[in-house]
Amino acid sequence: MRALITFITGLAFGLGLAVSEMTNPAVVLGFLDIFGDWNPSLIFVMGGAVLVGMVGYLIRSKREKPWLADKWYIPTRRDIDHNLVIGASLFGIGWGLSGYCPGPGLTALVNNPSEGAYFMAALVAGSALFHFQNHRKSN
């Protein structure tokens, strides 16, 4: 049952990305270009995401535990440290340069394989670098 719900949720997420044109880097870059040829259409995508998040928060506050898990996994840290700022900055720079974040980057492997392959290679390399750096710190 979990696998089926995970599949359906992923399918809905991918469909949402495609319908909202988040898989089109030109649209994303147009949204990020506020001083140029700005495309404000993704404000509705963000608004929809905020609404879904609010509904999720309300559901979480009313339920003892999730439907398909033993407990809620809620982050406990609330501090803003240099690792968070650097990581968020790198993510934003990568998104702004490429027009892809990880979800749409995966769809680019099908929609635009040459760009998608470069993006996914950079994503995997960055993830490996992060893992290597954190593993080295803990030893």
Give tens-digit pLDDT for 76-91. 989 999 988 998 998 8
Shared domain for 12 and 66, answered yes or no, is yes
Shared domain for 34 and 51, answered yes or no, is yes
* pTM for the whole structure: 0.68
Domain that residue 134 falls in: 76-139
pLDDT at 100 over 70: yes
pLDDT, position 52: 92
How many C-beta atoms surround the C-beta of residue 95 within 10 A? Answer: 18
pLDDT, position 137: 61
Q: Give how many domains the chain has, as a whole number.
A: 2
pLDDT at 15 over 80: yes
Shared domain for 11 and 67, answered yes or no, is yes
Select from 21, 54, 74 the last residue of a domain.
74
Q: List, for residues 27-86, the tens digit of each pLDDT value.
A: 888 988 889 989 998 899 889 989 999 999 999 999 999 888 889 888 898 999 998 899
pLDDT, position 139: 56
Shared domain for 2 and 55, answered yes or no, is yes
Contacts of 119 (CB under 8 A, 6+ apart): 98, 100, 105, 108
Shared domain for 35 and 63, answered yes or no, is yes
Shared domain for 4 and 70, answered yes or no, is yes
Shared domain for 1 and 63, answered yes or no, is yes
